[in-house]
């Protein structure tokens, strides 16, 4: 090997060492703390991205942080419903869920997707266990109620979304038990209601509620955008609930980003230290956000 080759190798190794040193204060500060990570359905379709994600989660556990993964699966549910010939309708981004759709959602979320993630983490050298919100009474759900205004009469009308729920109570016993056993909980967004019915829960909402109940150091919402973008196209890296309200009012924040940020605001207001919206398609985005000074994404804290 040439002297130049040796120099290049030494430089690369030095950069790796410097990265580890840069991360050291974060390792020390958050050892023993909990990170709740929402992993979205779209990102799951890419095996390479899934492998990167699994490696990130295993690394967090290896350095003493306790990751809890809550996953979605909307595209996969949609594909299965289509395969079975079941029609879907949506209201405000929520799938109207009749009994047949609820059964398919539970099958896909608690079955195929959940166990696939467990397998990815095992492949990266970690130990994970797949559960849903129904296991150990983790999530008690209540039926989501929505209203809409009739465009002609301007009268509020109730919308029945079927078996779509939201968390009303969180009991973290089963997560605490799994973490204490040295394993990583992988949680499907399904919950049981006090009425005995099974409810499909938005994964962002469920992750936020679990992060608040655990007093998590971080809630990560992995999505398909870089974070919150300003009107000039720049990434807004640090926001407070007051900032978010102003950005909603002036139209900077619109569409699907609104419920994500509402989840972040609710989580930090109820016990989670900070929440981050970041691009799950970027390799190791979660590690870049947390363990480097540069960061990657939009951080929300009270």
Alpha-carbon distance of 78 to 59, in angstroms, equals: 32
- The answer to whether residue 178 is domain-embedded is yes
What is the count of structural domains for the chain?
1
More confident of the two residues 228 and 3: 228
Whether the predicted pLDDT of 43 surpasses 70:
no
Reported as a single tens digit per residue, the pLDDT across 198-238 is: 999 999 999 999 999 999 999 999 988 888 898 888 888 88
Whether the predicted pLDDT of 3 surpasses 60:
no
- The answer to whether residue 2 is domain-embedded is no
Q: How confident is the model at residue 4 (pLDDT cuts 50, 70, 90)?
A: low
Taking the CA atoms of 11, 15, 16 and 20 in sequence, report the sign of the dihedral they define: positive
Range of the domain at 220: 31-300
The DSSP-derived string for 222-241 is EESSSSEEPTTS-EE-EE-H
- The answer to whether residue 20 is domain-embedded is no
The tokens 């929520």 sit on which residue?
Answer: 94
Range in 1-10, 194-203, 224-233, 289-298 with the lowest mean pLDDT? 1-10
pLDDT of residue 7: 65
- The answer to whether residue 15 is domain-embedded is no
- The answer to whether residue 88 is domain-embedded is yes
- The answer to whether residue 131 is domain-embedded is yes
- The answer to whether residue 22 is domain-embedded is no
DSSP 291: H
Q: How confident is the model at residue 22 (pLDDT cuts 50, 70, 90)?
A: confident
- The answer to whether residue 47 is domain-embedded is yes
Reported as a single tens digit per residue, the pLDDT across 174-191 is: 999 999 999 999 999 999
Q: What is the CATH number of the domain that holds 296?
A: 3.40.1160.10
Reported as a single tens digit per residue, the pLDDT across 58-77 is: 999 999 999 999 999 888 88
Q: Supply the mean pLDDT for the chain.
A: 88
């Amino acid at each position: 090997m040439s002297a130049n080759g040796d120099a290049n190798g030494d430089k690369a190794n030095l950069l790796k060492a410097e990265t580890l040193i840069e991360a050291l204060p974060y390792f020390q500060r958050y050892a023993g703390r909990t990170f709740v990570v929402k992993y979205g359905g779209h990102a799951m379709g890419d095996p390479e991205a899934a492998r990167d994600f699994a490696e990130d989660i295993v690394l967090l556990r290896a350095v003493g942080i306790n990751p809890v993964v809550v996953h979605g699966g909307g595209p996969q549910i949609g594909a299965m419903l289509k395969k079975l010939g079941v029609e879907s309708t949506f209201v405000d981004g929520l799938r109207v869920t009749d009994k047949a759709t609820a059964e398919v959602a539970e099958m896909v979320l608690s079955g195929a997707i959940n166990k696939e993630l467990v397998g990815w983490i095992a492949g990266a050298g970690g130990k994970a266990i797949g559960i849903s919100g129904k296991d150990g009474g983790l999530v008690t759900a209540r039926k989501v109620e929505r209203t809409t205004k009739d465009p002609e009469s301007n009268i509020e009308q109730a919308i029945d979304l079927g078996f779509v729920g939201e968390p009303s109570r969180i009991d973290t016993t089963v997560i605490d038990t799994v973490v204490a056993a040295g394993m990583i909980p992988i949680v499907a967004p399904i919950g049981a209601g006090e009425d005995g019915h099974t409810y499909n829960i938005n994964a962002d909402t469920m992750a936020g509620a679990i992060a608040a109940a655990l007093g998590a150091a971080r809630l990560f919402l992995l999505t398909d955008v870089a974070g919150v973008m300003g009107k000039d196209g720049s990434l807004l890296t640090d926001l407070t609930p007051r900032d978010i309200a102003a950005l909603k009012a002036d139209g900077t924040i619109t569409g699907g980003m609104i419920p994500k940020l509402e989840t972040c605001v609710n989580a930090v207001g109820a016990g989670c230290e900070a929440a981050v919206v970041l691009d799950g398609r970027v390799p190791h985005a979660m590690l870049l956000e947390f363990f480097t000074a540069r960061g990657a994404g939009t951080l929300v804290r009270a």
